[in-house]
Structure 1
Amino acid sequence: MKQCLITLALVLTFSWGVQGQKKAFEPGELWLDTDGTHINAHGGGLLYDQGYYYWYGEHKDHNSLAQVGVNVYRSKDLYTWEKKGVALAVSEDPDSEITSGCVMERPKVIYNEKTDKYVMWFHLELKGMGYAAAKTGVAISDTPVGPFEYIRSYNPNKGKWPMNFNDDWKKDYVENPSLEWWSDPWYKEVKEGLFVKRDFNKGQMARDMTLFVDDDNKAYHIYSSEENLTLHIAELADDYLSFTGKYITLAPAGHNEAPTMFKRNGSYYMITSGCTGWDPNAARSFKSESIWGPWEPLGNPCIGEGADLTFNSQSTYVLKVEGVEDRYIFMADRWNPKNHIDGRYVWLPIQWDGDRPILEWKGRWNLED
């Protein structure tokens, strides 16, 4: 027994350091904060601000409904995280769009230099409506830890056509066309804007999402739309609180969700997933020389054992490590639908094969590897 305890102590010291400070990433393992509690920030994203990283994510209980809101954690080294509280809390007002029991997913926060505000966007589903609302919500704060003030929700780009939409496709929408889903005629209609036209007057569907701020401080909202069949890339207004009406469709009928976006050497990249509910699937990747496309599919970025299921995880964000050239971290969730609070995190370094991102499983790694 003494030998077992000594071995366990050595393992804990190796992983966490002599004073409890974590020294490496261990994908899929329990990740404790400085209070010794498993980090509860699912579907999250990171913000770097004045020497600290801030990790925003969904507070999960035993199901997927929002009971608390969006948690925020802070770190200097990306290994050790201190919980700073609830950045955006659910409302006690039963008439609020973010009342307890709604769905608040994939929160992302960006900083606006012009307004000196921190802006959070997230996928919002209204209480009691399942996933029918397909909205995106926005909140604002004076500090990165909040509290964030909820402003409103959108079905984006109401009354606007995508920039890459053919004029010939802007014909009247035929409601409930007698087309079998996944048939060749149906694929053709989706690619020619079947669902864009359906939702033109009320605004587009917006589910899984991420945010991206370019070098010129223009911000973009990337979301899964059209019944999760097509990705949209939409430009945000200068204050990051609304849409300008400029947007494109990406991979129509490709059935992508969980989008991430990042930039390397002047090129834009996306890593996404397929749509299989809580079950993992093979990741996808794309590259473009312009954020407005055209976007080139690069295939599954994962290699090795577990690649076909993205190592039992689903993408949520890609972080560019501050102060280190060409260092990117792929962030993903390993969902646990039987007990959502026990969802784990899979962070992996992005490697490169020319201009193609590569993900390979590493059970333990650090930034110096």
Structure 2
Amino acid sequence: MSDKLYQVKPLLDTSGRRVQAHGGSVFYEDGVYYFYGENKEKSTGKDKIWTWGVRAYSSCDLVNWKDEGLIIPPEIEDKKSLLHPYHHLDRPHIVRSKKTGKYVCWLKFCGKNEFCFAVLVADQFLGPYKLIKSYFRPYDADVGDFDIHDFGERGVYLYFADGKKGIIGCRLTDDCTDVTEEHRLYYSDRTVPYCREAVAVFEAKENIYMLTSGMTSYVPNPSEAAKLSAPLGELTELGDPHIGDKSGASFLSQISCVFLHRGTNTHIAVADRWIASFQSKREQHLRTLNAIAACCAPGKYHAPLKDIMAVSKLPLNSNKIDTSVADYVILPIEWEGEKPVLRWKDEWRLKDVR
């Protein structure tokens, strides 16, 4: 049994298999942590399989993870179902409604002509889940990456990318299956690749924080941290949380969630290293990202031809990426004043950051 978290080798479950919970989140209940996400075991980039259902793992120590199986299996026989593995199921998030006691799972879909949510409910965290809403597009938005955060008495809030238009924050209904009219748009002045996605919201130091990535498919890019004055309050940008990042790409990863290690004041960020073999050097990578912006908004951004040519070398076609061997970066949140920061650690112990 290990007591360390490693960034330099694959995260394995207690059976010795790769943990398949990508674009995932962590749910805590009755002393048990559940790490769940996209099951990418069959997503080799050689066919149309995008995600093979939603898989969950359980742990009492955040290091040793038991495979609990598929809590939302794919619907293999029905190609029209959103749960068929050819559909682009991403980033499951589960919250428990205080009103109904139900476990509510939101799924995002980003395939052709989709960009929508599906909503499922269950009586137990591990399921079975029943699909109650498909092709749901709140506020007629082009649904992208999202997070759901329970603010206790203040309610449960959804934060999601509206295509390239910005991040929408909104309050959910008490049963957590729908949105209310209360919503707000953030980051509405950005151009690809600087528009935001991969939202991760958490509370710490009596503040609300939002971490986001840029928009470059599975290619990693710089993250940004921000502070919110309230669940739908004013947003203050805090800059890149990754300290000493030589890649210019969030330690070659994309954050999917931040959760609290119970009994401590430590928050932990979980990130996906979607393209395990991808490498970058900070200066050149930032120049290439600027070249993408110059292609998308030539009147606003400018780049030399050699940088624009470098864009074509990026593995931007997500359908061709072998995410079955994607890895994770799991690091504790540290602080510089009120700014959350991440520092690289090849390995670390939970007891060392209490």
Short-chain TM bin:
0.7 to 0.9
Structure 1 counterpart SS, 2:226: strand
The one of 65, 88, 91 aligned to 1:103: 88
Structure 2 counterpart SS, 1:216: helix
- Assess, with a 3 A threshold, how the Cα gap between structure 1 residues 28 and 151 changes in structure 2: closer, same or farther: farther
- The residue number in structure 2 matching 1:322 is 262
Equivalence map 1:118-137=2 (5 Å): 118-125=103-110, 130-137=111-118
| Shift, 1:154, TM fit | 4.6
Deviation per CA, 1:251-300: give whole Å up to 9, x if none: 10330011100011321101110111111111101002211121001010
Deviation per CA, 1:73-104: give whole Å up to 9, x if none: 11101100001111111223333232231111
- Does structure 1 residue 71 correspond to structure 2 residue 7? no
Deviation per CA, 1:31-72: give whole Å up to 9, x if none: 111111010111100100111001111011213744521001
Distance 2:268 2:228 in 1: 20
1:306/1:312 contact within 8 Å kept: no
- The residue number in structure 2 matching 1:233 is 169
- The residue number in structure 2 matching 1:200 is none
| Shift, 1:146, TM fit | 1.2
- Does structure 1 residue 45 correspond to structure 2 residue 18? no
- The residue number in structure 1 matching 2:178 is 242
Distance 2:248 2:158 in 1: 28
1:46/1:56 contact within 8 Å kept: yes
- The residue number in structure 2 matching 1:357 is 340
Percent of aligned positions with the same letter in both sequences? 30
Equivalence map 1:1-369=2 (5 Å): 21-60=1-40, 61=42, 62-63=44-45, 65-66=49-50, 68-91=52-75, 92-125=77-110, 130-158=111-139, 203-216=140-153, 218-225=155-162, 227-254=163-190, 255-306=195-246, 308-324=248-264, 326-336=265-275, 338-369=321-352
1:266/1:289 contact within 8 Å kept: no
Structure 2 counterpart SS, 1:110: strand
Deviation per CA, 1:96-136: give whole Å up to 9, x if none: 232231111011111122211111112124xxxx3432101
User: Which one is further off, 349-358 or 21-30?
Assistant: 21-30
Distance 1:93 1:317 in 2: 31
| Shift, 1:301, TM fit | 0.7
Deviation per CA, 1:174-231: give whole Å up to 9, x if none: xxxxxxxxxxxxxxxxxxxxxxxxxxxxx11111111100021611111111x23300
1:141/1:147 contact within 8 Å kept: yes
Q: Match of 2:133, as an amino acid?
A: R
Distance 2:134 2:164 in 1: 18
Q: Match of 2:4, as an amino acid?
A: A
What RMSD over aligned residues (CA atoms) do the two structures have, in Å? 1.6
Structure 1 counterpart SS, 2:324: helix
| Shift, 1:137, TM fit | 1.3
Structure 2 counterpart SS, 1:347: strand
Runs of 4 or more above 3 Å deviation: 63-67, 154-158
Q: Match of 2:165, as an amino acid?
A: L
- Assess, with a 3 A threshold, how the Cα gap between structure 1 residues 295 and 131 changes in structure 2: closer, same or farther: farther
User: Which one is further off, 63-72 or 258-267?
Assistant: 63-72
Corresponding pairs, count: 299
Unaligned 5+ runs, structure 2: 276-317
2:118/2:136 contact within 8 Å kept: no
Unaligned 5+ runs, structure 1: 1-20, 159-202
TM-score, normalization by structure 1? 0.78
| Shift, 1:150, TM fit | 1.6
Distance 1:272 1:28 in 2: 23
Distance 2:121 2:211 in 1: 27
